[in-house]
A and B are shown apart, each in its own frame.
Chain A
Amino acid sequence: MNLEKVVFAFFIVLALTLNFGFFVGTIDALDQHNVYELFAALVVSLIATVMKFGDRTHLGAVLLATSLVADLHLIAAASVWGFTMHIGGTGLTPSSMATIVSISGGALLANVTSVVLLVVETVMIRR
């Protein structure tokens, strides 16, 4: 058992599950999407990205790319949230929530790709 692999797999899967948890629910229902969950998803995704820094394998490079994509989406979602809450002056509306959730849906896809790659790698090694 390789501790590095455990920790990395943990963060990749955790990023996916948190992201999914935020994503599920009616797309514009304000009470079905929790801000803490978005925060946690963003933090975990950032950590997963940094963990892939300096990995020179081909798979490592692709994983770095997919988690960078997830980061970008989640940062965009958080920025939209902050903008509508504090700067836009309208407060959180169903339409802005729909935007946030759909952006996080993109991150979800990237995270799914990461997990699929992780599973593929695991299956290939068979150890």
Chain B
Amino acid sequence: MHNVIYLLLRRMRLPLIALIVTYAASVLGLVLIPGMDDQGRPWHMDFFHAFYFVSFMGSTIGFGEIPYPFTDAQRMWTLVTIYATVVAWLYAIGSLLSTLQDPAYRRVVRQSSFARGVRRIADPFYIVCGYGDTGTQVVASLAERGKRCVVIDIDQARVDALELEDLGMHVPGLCADAGDSDALLEAGLARANCIGVIALTNVDQVNLTIAITCRLLAPGIRTIARSEHHESEANMESFGTDHVVNPFDTFADRFAMAIHSPAMYRIYEWMTSIHPGERTAPGAAPEPRERIAPPRGTWVICGFGRFGKALQRYLNFEGLRTVIIEADPQTTEAPPETVAGRGTEAVTLRAAKVEEAVGIVAGTDDDANNLSIVITARELQPKLFTVGRQNQRRNDAMFTAAELDLIMQPGEIMARRILGLITNPLLADFLRHARHRDDAWAEALVAKIGRLTASTVPAIWSLRVDALEAAGLHLELRRGTAVDVATLSRDPRRREQFLPAIALLLRRADGEEILLPDGNVRLEPDDQLLFCGVSGSASQMRWTAQNHNVLEYVRTGSERPSGWIWRWLARS
């Protein structure tokens, strides 16, 4: 704010001095030049009248010659002053307007309003660097969950887009290079309530710089960085970046999982969904967005860039044969049996024996080519399982119309991963445990969750049994009362019924973790619990955990007297 005023004052220095000097000269001239009163006697204008006259003349209001008609000498001086004052005013107003519209000045205004916005955030907040496809989704979902954030992007147009977005809360945006530590500090990196930095710019090097800056300037906070190359990934991990997310590896991993264990894939999809509660399909059974599991067999991969390479590695690990089509096999270091070509023409696809394959992956970095590959391939072999990589979010309509079996959208994959990491740390642990279970286990869980939530994406929430989040429960446990997981899942309105929720993970204060704890597992103070279920159940469960009387009812079925007199009466 101070910057803005100082800059404005400095720019206005000369015009204001010009205005003062012009006025002073005009007034002085009018006072010195002899005039004549109504009786023809010599008369000198005083300062009061001179200032009055110059004021209305300079602003071109012009009330006339007062208090007496002017002599010719006075009129001559007035002529001079008319032009002088008008020019001085135009100069002053012109300078003011040009200063207000000056790009440098407006940048300072925007910066200072950004800094004010950051200062006003009292709750914990995240700094999101890069407001592209992923950044947009991360910010929108964070805002939806009531978490504050601050955005830095190098492109003013994206920052403008942020301002137009209706997020339900103020998200300050700054147009700056996020690799610049000053920009990060301005965004509140050093503030006590900054809890994390999410580096999502397109350039790995910038994300790396952000991660290092955070490590050095704010060592305690969480850093999550996007990385598309394995070298920068290793680099980031080497100095303790909390999470490095690679969209290609993440997708390839999920895709391999979908082939390996469709139920496990469905669990992952549900748990990391951006919009809990949304209907997945009109049918009775809950289904993931992509209906059929990818078949086992030979896969054709078009494009051997970072995406193609990651996919080939994961598919080969699953024991599936892959055929690569690549326009430039030399520079991409494709395997020798690679078919050269883009894959958009039938000749290349035939050469890759697409008729014998079970699926095709269009993984080039050009959306139009990817669609063309899928459509051409489907004409050759209608039963192909089609996977398309969608690089730009604005091509949503085209990809939906193409009816692909699976769409890989790096932006969305990143957003899901990151939201999973920051909104619910327990979730990552649960998924890690789940990974080691077999397909039967996953299928059983999917069926269980499916019965509970009835064709909607389940909501995920966690509960920490401490004095802040679960005051009543914490107190009871400290007194030695036995409370088990099933008690917590009872409906606080009718205890005979259970809330539509499943406990996924229980983590003890000493770090012991219990996957899918049974109902009779006893809770201990400072436990952390992860639940999934219908979205409304979370608040009911928190009510039970927080409120002493509700807990008593849920536990024993008797209403507990709330006032101390009644409690005393009940005891005696």
Contact = CB atoms under 8 A, between A and B. Distances in A.
Interface of A: 35-36, 39, 43, 46-47, 50-51, 53-54, 56, 78, 81-82, 85-86
Given A35-B47, A43-B24, A85-B48, A51 B6 contact: no
A46 B9 CA distance: 14
Given A82-B47, A85-B46, A85-B48, A47 B6 contact: no
A43 B54 CA distance: 15
B21 A54 contact: no
B20 A43 contact: yes
A82 B51 CA distance: 10
Specify the main secondary structure of chain A where it touches its partner.
Answer: helix
A56 B2 CA distance: 10
B30 to A, nearest CB: 12
B13 A53 contact: yes
A35 B32 CA distance: 12
Report, nearest first, the 9 A-B pairs whose CB atoms are least far apart.
Answer: A54-B10, A53-B9, A82-B48, A43-B24, A54-B9, A50-B16, A53-B13, A46-B20, A54-B6
B47 A39 contact: yes
Contacts of A43: 20-21, 24
Interface of B: 6-7, 9-13, 16-17, 20-21, 24, 27-28, 31, 46-49
14 contacts: A36-B28, A39-B28, A43-B20, A43-B21, A43-B24, A46-B20, A53-B10, A54-B6, A54-B10, A54-B11, A54-B13, A56-B6, A82-B47, A86-B46
Nearest to A54: B10
Nearest to A44: B24
Nearest to A82: B48
Contacts of B7: 54
Given A53-B12, A54-B9, A82-B47, A39 B27 contact: yes
B12 A86 contact: no
Contacts of A36: 28, 31
B17 A50 contact: yes
A7 to B, nearest CB: 10
A47 B46 CA distance: 22
Contacts of B48: 81-82, 85-86
Given A39-B27, A43-B24, A50 B47 contact: no
A47 to B, nearest CB: 6
Contact of B20 (A39, A47, A85): A47
Nearest to B10: A54
A47 B27 contact: no
A26 B7 CA distance: 45
Contacts of A35: 46-47
Contacts of B9: 53-54
Given A36-B28, A53-B12, 11 more contacts: A35-B46, A46-B20, A47-B21, A53-B9, A53-B10, A53-B13, A53-B16, A54-B6, A54-B13, A81-B48, A86-B46
A45 to B, nearest CB: 10
Contacts of A56: 6
A54 B24 CA distance: 23
Contacts of B12: 53
Nearest to B5: A54
B13 A50 contact: yes
Contacts of A86: 46, 48-49
Contacts of A51: 13, 17
Contacts of B49: 86
B10 A47 contact: no
B66 to A, nearest CB: 12
A46 B20 CA distance: 7
A91 to B, nearest CB: 11
A78 B11 CA distance: 29
Contacts of A39: 24, 27-28, 31, 47
A61 B11 CA distance: 17
Contacts of B11: 54
A47 B48 CA distance: 20
A43 B12 CA distance: 17
Contacts of B6: 54, 56
Nearest to B6: A54
Contacts of A50: 13, 16-17, 20
A51 B16 CA distance: 9
A11 to B, nearest CB: 10
Contacts of A81: 47-48
A113 B27 CA distance: 29
Contacts of B10: 53-54
A78 B17 contact: no
Contacts of B27: 39
A86 B202 CA distance: 73
Nearest to A38: B47
A108 B47 CA distance: 21
A47 B12 CA distance: 12
Contacts of B24: 39, 43
Contacts of B13: 50-51, 53-54
Nearest to A39: B47
Contacts of B31: 36, 39
Nearest to B2: A56
Given A39-B27, A54-B6, A47 B47 contact: no
A47 B17 contact: yes
A81 B13 CA distance: 29
A78 B16 CA distance: 20
A50 B20 CA distance: 9
A78 B20 contact: no
User: Which of B17, B27, B46, B49 has the most CB atoms of chain A within a 10 A radius of its CB?
Assistant: B17
A3 to B, nearest CB: 14
A6 to B, nearest CB: 15
A34 to B, nearest CB: 12
Given A51-B13, A54-B9, A78 B21 contact: no
Contacts of B21: 43, 47
